[in-house]
Structure 1
Amino acid sequence: MSILSRPLSWFLAVVVWYAALLYLSSQSQLEAPVPEFMHRDKVMHLTYFALGGICLYLALRFSRPHFTHARISLFVILFCASIGALDEFRQSFTPNRSGNDLGDWIADTLGGVVACFVSPYLLPLIKKLSR
């Protein structure tokens, strides 16, 4: 079995993703490595949470192949929404950060939704690379 099809690899990716989120959201000054554009922060939230959601989706798919897409998707979306809410609350205690931004939380949750649409298309590619 390849490292790409091992559930533990994807669960570890979720842990690393979450650790990076904790680090990033604890920074008082955070400069994004992308050019300035309208709603940049919302796009970055959505993208970051979509990546975490993809890792969680794949971890669950490989560890629980009998789970339906709907069941895994529900879990991933609830995970992204919960972690997003906790992160927004936590940021409210970080100097120079606003926190409790409803728009950021919505973008985080939508990132989970995007992950659920993208992940099934990644599965065949990952299985092919695992051989």
Structure 2
Amino acid sequence: MLKRIDFSLLLSYCSLIYYLSNQPVIKVPMFFTHQDKLHHFGAYFLMGILAWRCSASLNNAAIIRFFLTFGFCSIYGASDEWHQSFVPGRESDIWDWSADAAGALSAAIWLLLINNRQLNLKRRQAGLKAGFDVARKQKSMKDGFERVAADLKNFLKPF
């Protein structure tokens, strides 16, 4: 059920962006130059969050979800800019697409960091530190060095 809700939210949001991109003029008061880039950044940051949630239902590793989220949002942003080039009164701008991609990338990085933090917290609660048992790893390394030293000693014995 949650998968359907996540997918429906993402689809609805993409439809809203398409609808707004299809309007000849969107009247927004401008308080500073390049304010539209901030709008693009915010819109695609939100899209990145929705795409991340949608990709979570695929049960992929977080890094795969990162690339799926960033890839989907960047491609959608590029297609949106291309679509705007056909709308009278609108123009396509590479800097708008850059702001779209930056928003999606920021959301994906932020969510990846949150995911990794939660994973490390779960590992610590399970009695492990940073994903592996430190004492066991140190003993294994010590045993490895001792074996290498013994092999080297046996190799040099005839000399």
Task: Give TM-score scaled by structure 2 length.
Answer: 0.66
Q: What is the CA–CA distance in structure 2 between the aligned matches of 1:69 and 1:106, rounded to whole Å?
A: 24
Q: Choose which of 13, 20, 26 in structure 1 pairs with 2:22.
A: 26
* Structure whose CA Rg is larger: 2
Q: Which has the higher contact order (CA 8 A, sep 6+)?
A: 1
Determine the structure 1 residue equivalent to 2:89.
Answer: 96
Task: Name stretches of at least 5 consecutive residues in structure 1 with no aligned partner.
Answer: 125-131
**Runs of 4 or more above 4 Å deviation:** none
1:86 to 79, 86, 109: 79
Please tell me the root mean square deviation across aligned C-alpha atoms, in Å.
1.8
- 1:38 Cα deviation from its structure 2 partner: 2.7
Cα distance, 1:98 vs structure 2: 1.1
Aligned residue runs from structure 1 range 1-131, under 5 A: 6-32=2-28, 35-61=30-56, 63-65=57-59, 67-99=60-92, 101-120=93-112, 121=114
After superposition, the C-alpha distances for 1:47-83 in whole angstroms (9 at most, x for unaligned) are 101111101101211x123x11111111111111111
* Unmatched 5+ stretches in structure 2: 119-159
**1:58–1:119 CA contact under 8 A, matched in 2:** no
Q: What TM-score do the two structures reach when normalised by structure 1?
A: 0.79
Q: In the aligned structure 2, how far is the partner of 1:47 from the partner of 1:30?
A: 16
Q: How far did residue 20 of structure 1 move?
A: 0.3
Residues of 2 paired with 1:76 and 1:60: CA distance?
7
In structure 2, give the amino acid aligned to 1:102: I
Give me the whole-angstrom Cα distance separating, in 2, the residues matched to 1:64 and 1:106: 28
Q: State the alpha-carbon separation in 1 of the partners of residues 58 and 86 from structure 2.
A: 37
1:35 CA displacement: 5.0
Matched residues in 2 for 1:31 and 1:69: separation?
39
The letter of the residue matching 1:29 is: V
CA distance in 2, matches of 1:17, 1:45: 13
Alignment size in residue pairs: 115
Alpha-carbon offset, residue 39 of structure 1? 1.8
Q: Which deviates further from its counterpart, 112-121 or 13-22? A: 112-121
